Amino acid sequence: MAFRTIVVGCGAVAQRLYRKPLAQLAKQKMIEVVGLVDPAREHADAMLSAFAGARHFTTLEEACKAARPELTLVLTPPHLHCAQTEMAFAHGSHVLCEKPMANSSAECLRMQDAARVANRVLAIGMIRRYFPAFARLRELVQSGALGRLQSFEYREGHKFEWAVTTPAAFRPRAKGGAGVLFDIGTHALDFLQSVFGELAVHQYADDAAGGVETNVAMRLRAADCVGSLNLSWDVPQVNELRVVGVASEAVLRIDRFDQLAVGRRGAFVPQTTDVSFPVDLGLDPKRVVPRSYSDAVLCQLVQVLRAIKFDERPAVDGQGGASCIRLIEHALSKASPLPEPWLAPREQAAAAQLHGSS
């Protein structure tokens, strides 16, 4: 039986990441997309061509009443996640909510409570859990193959290229905006916590100067090691995660699916990255190694369906999603101005002064 599914938010994330894998699952009769929710008709139209049986709705409430979804995909800007998730649960639907889970840990708690009361699955979309190189690195670290851990260095930055359809993410935080920390930071922190266990923020600095942060530098502590995290929306970082153990060092290329190497003293040997995930709802499911974003989203969707059908735990549940938001809040509560020694001294002073107003 196909799960009746609605998509809430038909902008860039829905169109670029979800449309193809949803169409694949619909073809295999695992889901049936019955509703597309977006106040902008043209966004829904971009999805409707792939799902002939779906109806367009301008509000979620209307969709929940008319389409009676079993699964709701919340793909809207983060400031809408909490209310939309609560509404979906109130109508008896399971929910896959794209990261970041919400804009505050208070909202995360409300979402978790709503899931508990409705007795429904709450999964958070963290696509990188399904990147084979990421999964392989996690196995390597947790198996002790690198020896006792010493440190990690995570760097990710590039010119922001998502064809977002609203300016929501770029508004000041008081107006519902969220900067690079909420955007790629949630991916990074979720993955780092999945590898190293619970993290604590030791130091945090960002370049917010009246708005939301574009560049971030953090120092973190895990139970067994220390690490750093640098993120950017406007300049290219080296885009690597380096994990240093006493026995060897691992390097993961962040922007590739399958690029992982292990070595010592700077000489690295590429590793096989053949970690696979289920792609059907059988008891002995077929598995594939994701090789594209589309594959990874498909695996993520199948895992949510399996969580609903077999009571399996999603890769990231409400608790996992909320722990990232708590970590981010902790960081932001201690934010100091990011050192920018390349600015003139008077500009550095002005940036530091504006940082306080962010």
Partner 1 sequence: MNTIAIVGAGGFVGTSLIESLVLSGNSGVRAVVRSYRNMAGFCRFGDAVEVRLADATREAALVKAIAGAAVVVNVTTGPPAGIVESTRAIYNACRAAGVPRFVHLSSAVVYGDVEQPIDDDAAPLDKHWMPYARAKAESERWLRAQGHAGLEVVVLRPGIVWGVRSPHTTGFARSLARKSSFLVDGGAHVFNGVYIANFVAMIRAACDARGSVAGFYNAGDAERVTWREFYDALGGALGCDPAQLPVVNGEKFPWSTGAVIDAVQSLAPVNALYHRLKTHIPDGLKAAIRSRLEGSYSFDRHATAYATVASVDRELWHLQRVRHKLPVKKFAAAFQFSTPVSFPEAVGRTLAWIESLGLAVAAPAHTIEFSKASNE
Q: Of residues 42, 161, 284, 311, which one binds partner 1 by CB under 8 A?
A: 161
Within 36-95, the residues that bind partner 1 by CB under 8 A are none
Residue 221 in contact with partner 1, rule: CB under 8 A: yes
* Stretch in the footprint of partner 1 (CB under 8 A) among 40-48, 138-146, 256-264, 317-325: 256-264
Residue from the set 256, 264, 286, 309 that interacts with partner 1 by CB under 8 A: 256
Interface region with partner 1, contact rule CB under 8 A, candidates 71-79, 90-98, 166-174, 311-319: 166-174
8: three-class secondary structure by DSSP: strand
Q: According to CB under 8 A, which one of 55, 68, 110, 219 is a site residue for partner 1?
A: 219
Which is nearest to 81 in space by CA: 105, 58, 111, 57? 111
> What distance in Å separates the CA atoms of residue 327 and residue 92, rounded to the nearest whole number?
30
Give residue 265's region: left, alpha or beta (phi > 0; psi -120 to 50): left
Nearer to partner 1, 175 or 309 (CB): 175
Residue 268 CB, nearest approach to partner 1 (Å):
4
- Smallest distance from partner 1 to CB 147, Å: 13
Nearer to partner 1, 89 or 152 (CB): 152
Q: Which long-range contacts (CB under 8 A, 24 or more apart) does 256-260 make?
A: 256/133, 257/131, 257/132, 257/133, 257/290, 257/291, 257/292, 257/296, 258/132, 258/133, 258/291, 259/133, 260/133, 260/136, 260/137
| 211 touching partner 1, by CB under 8 A | yes
Nearer to partner 1, 56 or 253 (CB): 253
Kindly state whether residue 226 participates in binding partner 1, applying the rule CB under 8 A. yes
Q: Does residue 294 bind partner 1 (CB under 8 A)?
A: yes
Q: Is 276 in the site for partner 1 (CB under 8 A)?
A: no
By CB under 8 A, tell whether 4 contacts partner 1. no
What does the alpha-carbon distance between residue 214 and residue 168 come to, in Å, rounded to a whole number? 14
**Taking CB under 8 A as the criterion, which residues in 97-156 touch partner 1?**
150-153, 155
Closest distance of CB 95 from partner 1, Å? 26
Identify the sign of the CA torsion 288, 289, 294, 296.
positive
Burial 197-233, CB ≥16 within 10 A → b, else e:
eebebeebbbbbbebbbbbbbbebebeebebbbbbbb
Query: What one-character-per-residue DSSP string does 177-213 give?
Result: ---HHHHHHHHHHHHHHHHH-S-EEEEEEE--SSS--
358 touching partner 1, by CB under 8 A? yes
Is residue 342 a contact point for partner 1 (CB under 8 A)?
A: yes
Name the maximum alpha-carbon separation found in the chain.
Answer: 65
Nearer to partner 1, 132 or 177 (CB): 177
Residue closer to partner 1 (CB basis): 189 or 208:
208
